[in-house]
């Protein structure tokens, strides 16, 4: 049994990762600040679901913000973690256009506090330097497919250049990868950055496509369809994302000898990045059509141009993930959408009943 820190534990992905780790017999310390970027009621409901599990005696919740150095330092000094799954961040490409400072505080300063916390734990174990590279707690952190920016070569492969982001959100995620490599090189921390591709499913975020479309269609409202639906996304179901995260956690990278790379050091850092996507891009129009079929309702559409910060297509190569873990996402979009809609209807029916009773 291990003790794993999961940041963003009341978030969409973090709540499911916490549940999965608990089911495997681990203890989980879940951190979240329950901010109001979207309805905190949904975050509280996710957290309550985890706390109601039969395994919840091994779950500890800590309310704190990543960017607050004092509480983060206290957390790492008060508890030892065998692994860290860092999922908390300020999400949203379009939100980053209007609220840039929040992204720097949460995604850059917040990640720095995680790195410093793990560095401190390694020091307390006597494995602080690069000579112990790859040992100690494995830090798995969320990156994003958005780092690929306007790359035209598909599918996206981890070895592609990602130095031309088209949103501040993407830039912060690329910065995380650079920071991770630096800390791994300097201090030997084993790290894996995971580039997630358009995650959807039950308990998803209200600002994402599946949630917004289903809500609007059921209400008889018009949905905004960007680039007239000619946008391709590698829609990846939540269960596949969680399975990938948990499997990767058990495979920390090791520092490898430099066998000819143009790099002035004998060893490469114990740091890697991996894609987690469904490796089957589908158009936004197809995504909407599947929702219409599942609901039995035709959507009212407002066809819009592409928004600033968006990219025309995402498509993940998952060869590296499969080679490392033996796993590759495979949930068909049709199946995932129906599961999301079943959850959506059940969740909001319950909410309405509780409000009526209250």
**What are the residue numbers of the active site?**
169
Nearest in space to 118 (alpha carbons), one of 136, 141, 142, 143: 136
Residues 41-69 as b/e (b if ≥16 CB within 10 A, e otherwise) read ebbebbbebbeeeebbeebebbebbbbee
Residue 105 DSSP one-character state: I
Give the C-alpha separation, 169 to 147, whole Å. 9
Residues contacting 14, CB < 8 A, separation 6+: 6, 7, 8, 30, 32, 85, 87, 88
**Residue carrying structure tokens 């559409």:** 301
| Cβ proximity of 4 and 29 under 8 Å | yes
Kindly state the tokens that stand for 14. Answer: 């973090």
**Residue carrying structure tokens 């958005």:** 146
- The SS3 of residue 223 is strand
Kindly state the tokens that stand for 132. Answer: 């112990």
| Cβ proximity of 136 and 190 under 8 Å | yes
Residue 159 DSSP one-character state: T
Residues contacting 44, CB < 8 A, separation 6+: 10, 34
Q: CA 39: distance to chain centroid? A: 19
- The SS3 of residue 267 is strand
- The SS3 of residue 269 is coil
**Residue carrying structure tokens 């920390």:** 252
β-pairing, 282-283 vs 300-304, is: unpaired
Residue 316 DSSP one-character state: B
């Amino acid at each position: 049994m291990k003790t794993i820190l999961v940041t963003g534990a009341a978030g969409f992905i973090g709540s499911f990762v916490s549940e999965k780790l608990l089911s495997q017999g681990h203890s989980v310390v879940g951190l979240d600040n329950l901010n109001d970027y979207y309805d905190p009621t949904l975050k509280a409901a996710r957290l309550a679901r985890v706390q109601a599990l039969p395994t919840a005696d091994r779950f500890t919740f800590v309310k704190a913000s990543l960017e607050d150095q004092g509480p983060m330092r206290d957390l790492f000094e008060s508890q030892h973690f065998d692994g860290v799954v860092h999922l908390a961040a300020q999400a949203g490409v379009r939100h980053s256009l209007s609220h840039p400072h929040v992204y720097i505080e949460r995604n850059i300063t917040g990640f720095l506090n995680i790195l410093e916390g793990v560095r401190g734990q390694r020091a307390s174990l006597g494995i602080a330097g690069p000579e112990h590279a790859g040992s100690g707690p494995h830090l798995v952190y969320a990156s994003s497919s958005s780092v690929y920016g306007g790359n035209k070569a598909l599918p996206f492969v981890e070895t592609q250049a990602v130095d031309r982001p088209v949103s501040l959100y993407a830039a912060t995620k690329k910065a995380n990868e650079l920071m991770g490599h630096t800390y791994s090189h300097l201090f030997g921390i084993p790290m894996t950055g995971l580039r997630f591709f358009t995650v959807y499913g039950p308990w998803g975020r209200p600002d994402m496509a599946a949630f917004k479309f289903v809500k609007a269609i059921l209400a008889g409202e018009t949905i905004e369809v960007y680039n007239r639906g000619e946008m391709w996304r590698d829609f990846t179901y939540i269960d596949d994302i969680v399975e990938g995260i948990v499997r990767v956690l058990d495979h920390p990278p090791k520092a490898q000898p430099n066998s000819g790379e143009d790099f002035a050091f004998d060893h490469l850092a114990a740091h890697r990045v991996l894609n987690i996507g469904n490796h089957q891009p589908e158009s936004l129009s197809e995504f909407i059509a599947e929702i219409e079929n599942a609901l039995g309702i035709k959507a009212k559409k407002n066809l819009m141009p592409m928004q600033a910060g968006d990219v025309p297509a995402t498509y993940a190569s998952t060869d590296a993930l499969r080679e490392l873990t033996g796993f590759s996402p495979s949930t068909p979009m049709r199946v995932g959408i129906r599961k999301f809609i079943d959850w959506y209807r059940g969740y909001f029916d319950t909410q309405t009943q509780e409000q009526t009773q209250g």
